Structure formats: structure tokens, C-alpha cells
Amino acid sequence: MPLPVYQNLDSIQRPSAGATVLTAWGDAVNDDVTFLNGEAWVAPTLVNGWVNYGAGYAPAGYRRVGNVVRLRGFVTGGAASSGLFTLPAGYRPAYPAVLVVDASGGFGAVVVGTTGAVVHNAGSVASFLDLDGLSFDLI
């Protein structure tokens, strides 16, 4: 990954005695740390009967780490081939991402479309879908 180019550093002026030094530089570095470490998990609005499984399992969520979107959570209750939730702009893949999931103890698939729709595509939904560890590139 190329290193970011910091602009507007010429706005940093020589501080007066006791002033905070390099505030703009610190803000830029903090932005990069967030980019590399990732954002906080966001709880999506589940639709079509999908709900969080509970029982100590992680709730459904998504977050961005660099140019990768990560998903997590155990969900249940939805119908086969139905949408689970929609990712907002900035979290959508350039091409559909087909992700293999644990679907009630068997193999299944979830497709993340370019519109942000996260849809159960294959496998049983008798008990749960496990979204933990799923990820896709944005570029």
C-alpha cells in the first residue's frame, strides 16, 4: 500500500512559547492509524426476519480496515435466499463478492452485491448463518 501524501503541512507555523506543536501532523497520523487499524464495528439494520442469534455470539456487524470490509456475527430467522442487510456507500465491493459461510453446520454462501445488499445465496438457514471472519476488498 502506498504511503499517504500529507498536504497543507505549510499551514503548520512555528509555535509560540507553550503552544501545542504539530497539531495538523498529529491529526493526519491519527487518520492513518484509524485507516490501518480499522473503524469501530457498525451494527447493520437486519431485514427480512434476520435477527442476531444471541447466546453469547457476536451480533452482526461490519467495519472497514484499510481497503477491506470485514463482517462478523451469527444471525438466524431469515428465509433462504433473502437479504440480511445493506452496506452503505464506501463499504460496497466493486464487483459482487461471493463468500463461503457456515450455514447451520454445512456450507453456504452469502453474496455482497455492488449495491451493498448482503444476501443469503446457498445453504440451509435452519439454525444460523455465521458471518464471522468474512471479508472482501473494496478495490
pLDDT digits (tens, 9 = 90+) for 53-87: 999 999 999 999 999 999 999 999 999 899 999 99
Residue 128 Cα distances to 10, 43, 53, 106, 114, angstroms: 54, 18, 7, 10, 24
User: Nearest-CA neighbor of 72 among 83, 55, 84, 58?
Assistant: 58
The pLDDT value given to residue 38:
82
Residue 114, CA distances (Å) to 67, 99, 104, 119 in order:
15, 14, 26, 12
Note the pLDDT of residue 117.
98
Choose between 122 and 33: higher pLDDT. 122
Q: Dig out the grid coordinates for 80 from the structure.
A: 433462504
Q: What is the DSSP string of 23-67?
A: HHHHHHHHHHHHHHH-PPPB-----TT-EE--TTPPPPEEEEETT
Q: Does the pLDDT at position 52 exceed 90?
A: yes
pLDDT computed for residue 22 by the predictor: 46
Mean pLDDT over residues 21-44, rounded? Answer: 66
Looking at every residue in the chain, the average pLDDT score rounds to: 84
Q: Is the pLDDT of residue 25 over 50?
A: no
Mean pLDDT of the region 20-37: 54
Domain boundaries, the chain: 1-37, 51-137
Looking at residue 97, its pLDDT comes to 97
Task: Tell me the mean pLDDT in the region 107-122.
Answer: 96
CA angle 100, 80, 114 (to 5 degrees): 55
Q: Which of 65, 1, 74, 76 is nearest to 38 (CA)?
A: 65
| pLDDT for 12 | 45
CATH topology for 51-137? Immunoglobulin-like (2.60.40)
- How high is the pLDDT of residue 139? 83
Q: Which of 3, 84, 98 is nearest to 46 (CA)?
A: 84
Strand order in the sheet with 61-65: 61-65, 68-72, 135-137
- 88: helix, strand or coil: coil
